[in-house]
Structure 1
Amino acid sequence: MASQEQEVHSDTITPTDVELAPITTHPSKTDDPFLVAFTEPLDADNPKDWRTGRKWAVTDVLSATGFNRIMVSTIIAPALGTIAKEFDMNSAESAMALSIYALATAFGPLAIGPLSEVYGRGPILHASNIWFLVWNIACGFANSKGMLIASRFMAGFGASAIYALANGVLGDVWRPEQRGSSLGVYLLIPLLGAAVGPIIGGFMAERTTWRWMFWSTSIFQAVMIIVSFTAFQETYEPLILRRRAERIRREKNDSRYYTADERINANKSALRVIGRALSRPVRLLLFHPIVQISSLISAFNYGILYIVLSTFSDLWTNNYHESVEISGLHYIAVALGEIAGSQLCAKMMDRLYHRLKARANGEHTPELRVPSVFPGTILGSMGLFLYGWATHYRLHWAVVDIGVFITMLGLQMTGMPLQAYVMEAYPEYTGSAGAAQQFVRSLTAFSFPLFAPAMYASLGYGWGNSTLAFLELVVGLVAPWLLWNYGASLRGKTQRLS
Structure 2
Amino acid sequence: MATPKNQDDISAAPDPVTVELANIPTPTTTTVKKDSDPFLVAFDQPYDAENPIDWPTGRKWMVTDVLSATGFNRIMVSTIMAPALSTIANELNMSSAESAMSLSIYLLATVFGPPLIGPLSEIYGRTVVLHSSNVWFLVWNIVCGFAPTKGTLIAARFLAGFGASAIYSLAGGVLGDVWRPEQRGSSLGVYLIIPLLGAAVGPIIGGFMAARTTWRWMFWATSAFQAVMILVSYFSFHESYGPLILQRRAQRLCKETGESRYHTRGETIDGNRSAVTILMRALSRPVRLLLFHPIIQVSAVLSGFNYGILYVVLSTFSALFTSQYGQSVEISGLHYIACSLGELAASQVGAPWMDYLYKRLPAHKQNPESRMPLMFPSIIITWVGALMYGWTAAYRLHWIVVDIGVFIMLFGMQLGGLPITAYVIDTYGEHTSSAMAAQQFLKSLMAFLFPLFAPSMYVALGYGWGNSVLALGGLVVSVPLLIFLWKYGARLRAKAISTK
Give the TM-score, by structure 2 length: 0.95
Give the C-alpha shift of residue 15 in structure 1.
4.9
State the secondary structure of the residue aligned to 1:118: coil
**CA distance in structure 2 between the aligned counterparts of 1:209 and 1:402, rounded to whole angstroms:** 32
Given the alignment, which residue of 111, 117, 120 partners 2:125?
A: 120
Aligned-CA RMSD value:
1.8
Give the C-alpha shift of residue 16 in structure 1.
5.2
Does the 8 Å contact 1:352/1:372 carry over to 2? Answer: no
Letter in 2 for 1:301: N
Does 1:328 find its partner at 2:330? no
Does the 8 Å contact 1:22/1:495 carry over to 2? Answer: no
Give the C-alpha shift of residue 275 in structure 1.
0.1
Counterpart position of 2:251:
246
**CA distance in structure 2 between the aligned counterparts of 1:183 and 1:397, rounded to whole angstroms:** 32
**CA distance in structure 1 between the aligned counterparts of 2:465 and 2:23, rounded to whole angstroms:** 43
**CA distance in structure 2 between the aligned counterparts of 1:296 and 1:7, rounded to whole angstroms:** 29
Give the C-alpha shift of residue 493 in structure 1.
1.4
State the secondary structure of the residue aligned to 2:239: coil
State the secondary structure of the residue aligned to 1:33: coil
Letter in 1 for 2:52: P
Aligned pair in 2 of structure 1 residues 452, 496: CA closer, same or farther (>3 Å)? closer
Aligned pair in 2 of structure 1 residues 324, 442: CA closer, same or farther (>3 Å)? same
**CA distance in structure 1 between the aligned counterparts of 2:487 and 2:250, rounded to whole angstroms:** 42
Give the C-alpha shift of residue 495 in structure 1.
5.9
Letter in 1 for 2:152: M
**CA distance in structure 2 between the aligned counterparts of 1:446 and 1:315, rounded to whole angstroms:** 20
Does the 8 Å contact 1:291/1:433 carry over to 2? Answer: yes
Counterpart position of 1:402:
404
Does the 8 Å contact 2:110/2:164 carry over to 1? Answer: yes
Counterpart position of 1:481:
483
Counterpart position of 1:18:
20
Does the 8 Å contact 1:20/1:429 carry over to 2? Answer: no
Give the C-alpha shift of residue 425 in structure 1.
1.0
Does the 8 Å contact 2:378/2:413 carry over to 1? Answer: yes
Q: Cα deviations across residues 265-318 of structure 1 (Å, max 9, x unaligned)?
A: 231111000000000000000000000000001000000100011111111111
Give the C-alpha shift of residue 354 in structure 1.
2.0
Counterpart position of 2:433:
431
Counterpart position of 2:226:
221
**CA distance in structure 1 between the aligned counterparts of 2:116 and 2:499, rounded to whole angstroms:** 24
**CA distance in structure 1 between the aligned counterparts of 2:332 and 2:233, rounded to whole angstroms:** 34
Aligned pair in 2 of structure 1 residues 58, 435: CA closer, same or farther (>3 Å)? same
**CA distance in structure 2 between the aligned counterparts of 1:198 and 1:102, rounded to whole angstroms:** 15
Does the 8 Å contact 1:21/1:494 carry over to 2? Answer: no
Does 1:470 find its partner at 2:472? yes
Letter in 2 for 1:384: A
The 5-angstrom pairing of residues 131-210 of structure 1 reads 131-210=136-215
Letter in 1 for 2:483: W
Does 1:105 find its partner at 2:110? yes
Give the C-alpha shift of residue 370 in structure 1.
1.1
Counterpart position of 1:382:
384
Letter in 2 for 1:246: Q
State the secondary structure of the residue aligned to 2:32: coil
The 5-angstrom pairing of residues 274-313 of structure 1 reads 274-313=279-318
State the secondary structure of the residue aligned to 2:397: coil
Letter in 2 for 1:172: D
**CA distance in structure 2 between the aligned counterparts of 1:387 and 1:430, rounded to whole angstroms:** 35
Given the alignment, which residue of 82, 97, 112 partners 1:92?
A: 97
Aligned pair in 2 of structure 1 residues 312, 6: CA closer, same or farther (>3 Å)? closer
Aligned pair in 2 of structure 1 residues 153, 395: CA closer, same or farther (>3 Å)? same
**CA distance in structure 1 between the aligned counterparts of 2:379 and 2:316, rounded to whole angstroms:** 22
**CA distance in structure 1 between the aligned counterparts of 2:358 and 2:388, rounded to whole angstroms:** 31
State the secondary structure of the residue aligned to 2:33: coil
Larger deviation: 149-158 or 84-93?
84-93
Does the 8 Å contact 1:21/1:495 carry over to 2? Answer: no
**CA distance in structure 1 between the aligned counterparts of 2:492 and 2:21, rounded to whole angstroms:** 16
Counterpart position of 2:268:
263
Given the alignment, which residue of 367, 375, 378 partners 1:373?
A: 375
**CA distance in structure 2 between the aligned counterparts of 1:457 and 1:497, rounded to whole angstroms:** 46
Q: Cα deviations across residues 73-127 of structure 1 (Å, max 9, x unaligned)?
A: 0000000111112122222211111110011011000100000000000000000
Give the C-alpha shift of residue 55 in structure 1.
0.3
Does the 8 Å contact 2:108/2:445 carry over to 1? Answer: yes
Give the TM-score, by structure 1 length: 0.96
Given the alignment, which residue of 420, 423, 430 partners 2:422?
A: 420
**CA distance in structure 1 between the aligned counterparts of 2:24 and 2:398, rounded to whole angstroms:** 51
Counterpart position of 1:76:
81
How many correspondences in the alignment?
490
Aligned pair in 2 of structure 1 residues 436, 44: CA closer, same or farther (>3 Å)? same
**CA distance in structure 2 between the aligned counterparts of 1:124 and 1:190, rounded to whole angstroms:** 19
Counterpart position of 1:231:
236
Does the 8 Å contact 2:290/2:297 carry over to 1? Answer: yes
Does the 8 Å contact 1:20/1:280 carry over to 2? Answer: no
- How many percent of aligned residue pairs carry the same amino acid? 64
**CA distance in structure 1 between the aligned counterparts of 2:371 and 2:21, rounded to whole angstroms:** 24
**CA distance in structure 2 between the aligned counterparts of 1:273 and 1:19, rounded to whole angstroms:** 16
Q: Which runs of 5+ in 2 are unaligned?
A: 1-7
Give the C-alpha shift of residue 476 in structure 1.
2.1
**CA distance in structure 1 between the aligned counterparts of 2:125 and 2:23, rounded to whole angstroms:** 20
Give the C-alpha shift of residue 348 in structure 1.
1.7
Does 1:442 find its partner at 2:444? yes
Does the 8 Å contact 2:67/2:167 carry over to 1? Answer: yes
State the secondary structure of the residue aligned to 2:123: helix
Does the 8 Å contact 1:390/1:399 carry over to 2? Answer: yes
Letter in 1 for 2:470: L
Does the 8 Å contact 2:23/2:269 carry over to 1? Answer: no
Does the 8 Å contact 2:11/2:22 carry over to 1? Answer: no
The 5-angstrom pairing of residues 2-81 of structure 1 reads 12-15=14-17, 17-18=19-20, 22-23=24-25, 27-81=32-86
Letter in 2 for 1:307: V
Counterpart position of 1:392:
394
Q: Cα deviations across residues 347-372 of structure 1 (Å, max 9, x unaligned)?
A: 221112223x32xx544311111111
Letter in 2 for 1:259: T
